[in-house]
C-alpha cells in the first residue's frame, strides 16, 4: 500500500517538474520574441514580470 502511494507522489512530482520546465521555456521564448535576452533564472514570477506581466494585473 505504501509503495503505491510513493509511486503516485513520484508521478505527481515529475508532472509538476515537467510543467514548470514547459512554462519556463514558453516564457523565455516570449521574451525572445521581443528581441530581448531572457534572464538566467528558473523563477517563473521573475520571467513573467520580465514580460511586463505585473503591470497587466490591474483588474
pLDDT at 4: 76
pLDDT at 55: 59
d(CA 8, CA 12): 6
* 51 secondary structure, DSSP code: T
pLDDT at 43: 97
pLDDT tens digits, one per residue of 1-59: 577 777 788 888 999 999 999 999 999 999 999 999 999 999 999 999 999 876 555 44
pLDDT at 1: 54
pLDDT at 59: 47
> Among 44, 27, 20, which Cα is nearest to 36's?
27
Amino acid at each position: 500500500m505504501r509503495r503505491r502511494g510513493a509511486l503516485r507522489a513520484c508521478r505527481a512530482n515529475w508532472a509538476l517538474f515537467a510543467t514548470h520546465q514547459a512554462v519556463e521555456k514558453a516564457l523565455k521564448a516570449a521574451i525572445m520574441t521581443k528581441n530581448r535576452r531572457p534572464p538566467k533564472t528558473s523563477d517563473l514570477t521573475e520571467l513573467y514580470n520580465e514580460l511586463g506581466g505585473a503591470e497587466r494585473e490591474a483588474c
